Amino acid sequence: MAYTETTTTGYGTRVGNSFKSIGSGFIMFCLATALLWWNEGRAVKTDKMLNEAEKVCIDMENPNKMDPAMEGELVCASALATTEDVLTDDKFGFSETAIGLQRRVEYYQWVEHEQTKKEDKLGGKEVTTTTYTYSLEWTWAPVNSSQFKDPAYQTRNFVLAQVENGEQWAENVKFGAYKLPESLFHSMSSREAVVLDLNKDLLAQYDKASRDIDLRINGKAVNSNTNPNANTQAVPDSVKTVIGDSIPQENKVDLDYVHQQGNVLYIGRTPAAPQVGDVRVTFEKVVPAKVTIIAKVKGDTFTKFKAKNGKTFQTLVMGVQDSAEIFESEHAANNTWLWILRIVGIMLVIAGLKGIFGFLETILKVVPFIANIFGWGVGVVCTVVGVVWSLIVIALAWLFYRPLLGIGLLALAGFLIWVFAFKGKDKLKEMAARRRPGVQAQPIEPAQ
């Protein structure tokens, strides 16, 4: 059920707030301009760094054997990234030989959604109607329901167990005869489900603690005699594992409030029908995999390549790839970020201009119809000016960061203008003379 809240803002307050927004709009305009300038420089420097790295990068044919000749070289190499380190989840008491170990926690909670509608009234007042709706969702953290607007939902949220997210990484990851630095193997995406085999006493403790919380919050608790879903063999959708049927059924545990299957630990009454307070914990590990790296050799490990402009570079990709593919992908990513930040910058410039000149529309809000028409015009002007200003900033940045290319483009543009403006003018005069009576156009003799 929706909860509605209505507020009215007077004309004087609205005008005052609109004048205050001039400052924030000007700040946004300046920051957006700086973003556009910085983005062009970032893209140019990254492009130059990648070109420099691509020129000096060499293939390491056999990473399984250290080669002193490779010291200090930027290399592209493919090998199996593996480890013998054992990672332990101290909270749940199990260990895995893996490059990484991750615990991801979700909570079933009431979530508040807000929808606002504003309406101008004759005389300059503004009526704001805010509608709050609530839905049950899986969230990454407990939701504080005491801040909800609807009193009926302010005490609805609780959790049966407080479990933190966790992530661990191995200290020693081998790459052939070399050692991978953390900055590289942290980007590995070879994740697999952990087949859990948790301590039964620990699960019993969680089961008892969850029952006590449920009893305190809801005034009742379930047990194996009253819970029809306990000890059944069906695996509910909310507890299905990442790797599905490959999980052995014998590792399944079904208590009153604790359900373990595959790589999921579910804390709640009935996994098939989640209730407020239920907790879902998923365990994954990063396993050994074939990877390709581009990095600078430093002793028995690798470090970042530093270009002449100060930009650094190293990367790890999954599978076997050659350097040309990797650099092509890096150039594409750099270009994608260039356009994303350009669009963001242009939108922020326009938003800043609207913030600066928005007070003009607010002053006319005494008559909403006129103000809306005027506001539309202000919006159009701010959009056009914002786009033009952004293009000017980008063009000037090109001249600053790429002077030769920028000057070349300006020279080309000037030449084209001259051709069309002057040569085109002479051509028009010649065509007009041919059409004029009594004037015989002189034939153009072919060049000798």
**Cβ(18)–Cβ(355) under 8 Å?**
no
At 251, the pLDDT band (50, 70, 90 cuts) reads low
The per-residue pLDDT for range 22-32, each reduced to its tens digit, is 888 899 999 99
**Cβ(360)–Cβ(374) under 8 Å?**
yes
At 262, the pLDDT band (50, 70, 90 cuts) reads confident
The per-residue pLDDT for range 7-18, each reduced to its tens digit, is 776 766 767 777
The per-residue pLDDT for range 132-172, each reduced to its tens digit, is 999 999 999 999 999 999 999 998 999 999 999 999 999 99
Tell me how far apart the 2 most distant CA atoms of the chain are, in Å.
115
Q: How many whole angstroms separate alpha carbon 320 and alpha carbon 227?
A: 52
Q: What is the 8-class DSSP label of residue 444?
A: P
What one-letter code names the amino acid at 187? S
The per-residue pLDDT for range 285-322, each reduced to its tens digit, is 999 999 999 999 999 999 999 999 999 999 999 999 99
At 421, the pLDDT band (50, 70, 90 cuts) reads low
pTM score, two decimals? Answer: 0.76
Higher pLDDT: 246 or 368? It is 368
Q: Which residue has the tokens 């704001």?
A: 128
**Alpha helices for 75-117 (secondary structure H):** none
Give the percent of the chain with pLDDT over 70.
79
pLDDT of residue 143: 95
Distance in angstroms between the alpha carbons of the first and the last residue of the chain: 90
What one-letter code names the amino acid at 8? T
Record the tokens describing residue 138, joined without a space: 């899986």
Across the chain, what does the average pLDDT equal? 83
**Cβ(28)–Cβ(352) under 8 Å?**
yes
Q: Are strands 312-313 and 58-59 parallel, antiparallel or unpaired?
A: unpaired
Higher pLDDT: 193 or 249? It is 193
In this predicted structure, the answer to whether residue 329 has a pLDDT above a threshold of 60 is yes
Give the percent of the chain with pLDDT over 90.
54
In this predicted structure, the answer to whether residue 399 has a pLDDT above a threshold of 60 is yes
pLDDT of residue 354: 87
Considering only 174-178, 215-219, 314-318, which range has the smallest mean pLDDT? Answer: 215-219
Considering only 230-234, 303-307, 363-367, 424-428, which range has the smallest mean pLDDT? Answer: 230-234
Residue 192: helix, strand or coil by DSSP?
Answer: strand
Other Cβ atoms closer than 10 A to 106: 20
